[in-house]
Structure 1
Amino acid sequence: MTGGRESTVRALVVDGPGAPPTVRPVRLPAPGAGQVRVRVRAAGVCHSDLSMADGTIAAPYPLVLGHEAAGVVVEVGPAVTRVAPGAHVVLNWAPPCRACWFCGRGEPWLCAAIGGPAARRGRTAGGDPLHVALGLGALAEEVVVEQAAVIPVPADLPFEAAALLGCAVLTGSGAVRRTAGVAAGESVLVIGLGGVGLAAVAAARAAGADPVLAVDRAAAKRELALAAGASAFLPADDTLSRAVRELTGGRGVDHALECVGRAATIRAAWRATRRGGQVIVVGMGAKDDLVGLSALEIFHSARTLRSSVYGSSDPDRDLPELAGAVLSGRLDLALLISAETSLDGAAAALDRLAAGEGARTVVRP
């Protein structure tokens, strides 16, 4: 269907840093040239949503939260060639332009055209300008997005699994496979066991890493970590570095993946990594949370410190591959889903995330 009108849908909106998110009506524009309207069938509640709600990541408000989602195309604007109404799609919060210098170098996750934490789209019920998180605002009944932001997937792929592929799985598995390049027999440490961290644990185990050490401040994450393939669960305290070295011949791990986005945990990952190993920062943190490393230890340790943006993934290439792994049974995402709720329960899911409870909550708008 084409040529629609502005529509009113329910969405999870936050009015400012620390303000309580509430579900309310918002107005979405009709799809313009090259845009599509998607009815959201499942959306994951991600730590980045929490960071935008509490102000850790600066964003304009009022803001519709959500960026990890899957659904069905219900309307397309003029000049759309990528999908047609009825297509099942995963939303991509970082669609590359395929034309800039970074895209030309095969690094679409660093695309110069990728926007900031939010884009202006639609209006509040009162007519004020509205912003949507990471260009999507997917904790809503429907979204209007550029056609490059949708990736077609098989219709028999469950929506809840498809949603997680769009962020947690691409980010966590990509950090292991693409950024770190973990090889069989290498040791891996994962700090932070939300959806991204658990996906990284599973990917490290699938790559043949040994041992795979999982760390979180919440002891309740132990069973989730072991189910994902961790060799051991370690508490996030001052004994971490010593415990890691005891399990790695006194050296430290080959790869430490920090999936929290805090200076303290980045520093903990650094201390737990062997000389010549690498620390991969996967979590997105605050700009004023500074990491301190001395010039001497940088030289002496010979460690590499780098980030993994969106798992160094090309979603158009990697997501269909992951979808195939889910459908074949080679990738089981059930352990990443700790709860399901309606849109009205999304705010409570953010509270559970802030408390470190569970893995992913999937919202079904």
Structure 2
Amino acid sequence: MPQQVQGVIAPGKNEPVRVETITIPDPGPGEAVVKVQACGVCHTDLHYKQGGINDDFPFLLGHEAAGVVEAVGNGVTDVEPGDFVILNWRAVCGRCRACLRGRPWYCFDTHNARQKMTLADSGAALSPALGIGAFAEKTLVAAGQCTKVDPAVSPAVAGLLGCGVMAGIGAAINTGQVGRGDSVAVIGCGGVGNAAVVGAHLAGAARIIAVDIDDRKLETARKMGATHTVNSRTSDPVEAIRELTRGFGADVVIEAVGRPETYEQAFYARDLAGTVVLVGVPTPDMKLELPLLDVFGRGGALKSSWYGDCLPSRDFPMLIDLHQQGRIDLGAFVTETIGLGDVEKAFARMHEGDVLRSVVML
């Protein structure tokens, strides 16, 4: 039977979020109902609230989640009730041209649950954030959005791999292909940027330069593995990165802000034949202008990182294992734990730069 649970709704553009009763249908073919245990508050959720993604209100927010599978629909074989899973927003199809070429992390036909969750009082269909909607006691997803991991790990830690931490680590390891001895610069040291610092450190980078306008974030980046920091409010970041790399620029520059001006800094702060990775998410109105001769003359690669170019079935269990071995500290990203009713306050703290991640515990 359909269930009624509590969830956090964004009712309209820039309106305060609120906790509402929502209806979760029984899982249909290829779907799963997951009892959510923890869900991180990501900047993408704030984008949804502000109308920066689309205007398909009302939204059921939340997507960085971990929990336990409660029920599955017909045809589901990869997960079963009782499995501890991390939710992902790129369930690969296995049939598109990217998947058939052996590049499923680029899947062009990722999918979500077919059925809609609804508001209990009006029956209005909800748009789940990134196809997940996990600021809720339970949520309905495509079974392919569930990735089994070791249940011994804390749900608060595991859920963060569902978006921001995976995006940052993957931007360094998968997209940027940082190697041993490389120099890396990371522009923007929020949750994703600091995860990129962790990824660069894990990959064996010799020099990791963290760039931000907030000294608090730079101090956190040092704790995460940055060898040098640059406050771009008081120093020219391009000149500073070049000075720290013998005048050449970094081998890989990861832009984790998503703005034209910081992307331009990343472009000119890389070495010849170096790589720029854009993992910060721009808004639809933003434009970039670069001299085409400079694009040609500097060579190298300009890449966008989709979800850290991750394959959840491969990367989530691996990173959980590394965390349990003490090789990466995913718990360092959890600044505070909160309840469903505290999401609006968490957005305010995010705006002020006070947190890496607030995590809703259910």
Match of 2:231 in 1: 235
1:223 pairs with one of 219, 222, 243: 219
Question: Cα offset for 1:59?
Answer: 4.3
CA contact (8 A) 2:39 2:159 kept: yes
1:359 to 356, 359, 362: 356
Q: Is the aligned partner of 1:299 residue 2:296?
A: yes
Q: How does 1:145-156 map onto structure 2 within 5 Å?
A: 145-156=141-152
Give secondary structure in 2 for the equivalent of 1:121. Answer: coil
2: CA distance between counterparts of 1:265 and 1:97?
34
Say whether 1:56 aligns with 2:45. no
Cα shift at 1:202: 1.0
Q: CA shift at 1:135, angstroms?
A: 0.9
Q: Structure 1 residues 362, 222: closer, same or farther in 2, change over 3 A?
A: same
Shift, 1:110, TM fit: 2.3
Determine the structure 2 residue equivalent to 1:122.
117
State the Cα distance separating 1:120 from its structure 2 match. 6.8
The 8 Å contact of residues 193 and 359 in structure 1, kept in 2 or not, is answered as no
- Other-structure match for 2:345: 348
2:174 to 170, 175, 178: 178
Gap runs ≥5 in structure 1: none
Contact 1:44/1:163 (8 A) holds in 2? yes
Counterpart mapping for 1:1-365 below 5 A: 5-114=1-110, 121-125=116-120, 126-237=122-233, 239-365=236-362
Cα gap change, 1:97 to 1:357, in 2 (>3 Å): same
Asked if the contact 1:7–1:29 (Cα under 8 Å) also holds between the matched residues in 2, the reply is yes
Give how far 1:180 is off. 1.0
Partner Cα separation in structure 2 for residue 289 and residue 120 of structure 1: 34
CA 1:119–1:343 in 2, change beyond 3 Å: closer, same or farther? farther
TM-score, normalization: structure 1?
0.94
Name the SS of the counterpart of 2:54 in structure 1. coil
**Structure 2 CA distance for aligned equivalents of residues 268 and 17 of structure 1:** 32
Residue deviations 1:67-97, cap 9 Å, x none? 1100011122233212221111110111000
On the 8 A contact 1:119/1:134 being kept in 2, the answer is: no
The alpha-carbon deviation at position 355 of structure 1 amounts to 2.4
- CA distance in structure 2 between the aligned counterparts of 1:217 and 1:10, rounded to whole angstroms: 38
Inter-partner Cα distance in structure 1 for 2:60 and 2:324: 31
Which amino acid is 1:123 matched to? Answer: T
Write the distance in 1 (CA, Å) between the matches of 2:49 and 2:300. 34
Distance 1:219 1:339 in 2: 20
Gaps of 5+ in 2: none
The Cα of 1:17 is off from its aligned counterpart by 2.3
Cα 1:299/1:325, change in 2 over 3 Å: same
Report the secondary structure of 1:129's partner residue: coil
Structure 2: how far apart are the matches of 1:195 and 1:284? 13
CA contact (8 A) 1:170 1:315 kept: no
What is the DSSP-based 3-state SS (H/G/I as helix, E as strand, rest coil) of the residue aligned with 2:321? helix
Distance (whole Å) between structure 1 residues aligned to residue 132 and residue 232 of structure 2: 34
Cα deviations across residues 281-338 of structure 1 (Å, max 9, x unaligned)? 0112112201110112112222421101111111111111111112222221122111
What SS is found at the alignment partner of 2:38? strand
Q: CA deviation at 1:115?
A: 5.2
Q: Is the 8 A contact 1:245 1:252 kept in 2?
A: yes
Instruction: Describe the superposition over 1:173-219 as per-residue Cα deviations: whole angstroms up to 9, x where unpaired.
Output: 11111111111111101112222211110111122212101112222
- TM-score when scaled to structure 2? 0.95
Q: For this pair of structures, how many residues does the alignment match?
A: 360
One-letter amino acid matched to 1:359: L
Distance 1:87 1:24 in 2: 27
- 1:25: Cα distance to partner? 1.3
Is the contact made by 2:7 and 2:20 (CA closer than 8 Å) also made in structure 1? Answer: yes
Distance 1:90 1:76 in 2: 15
Q: Check whether the contact 1:174–1:312 (CA below 8 A) recurs between aligned residues.
A: yes
Query: Can you list the C-alpha shifts for 1:82-127, whole angstroms capped at 9, x where unaligned?
Result: 22211111101110001110111222232121259x9872111211
Segment drifting more, 297-306 vs 343-352: 297-306
Could you tell me how far apart the structure 1 residues matched to 2:279 and 2:20 are? Answer: 32
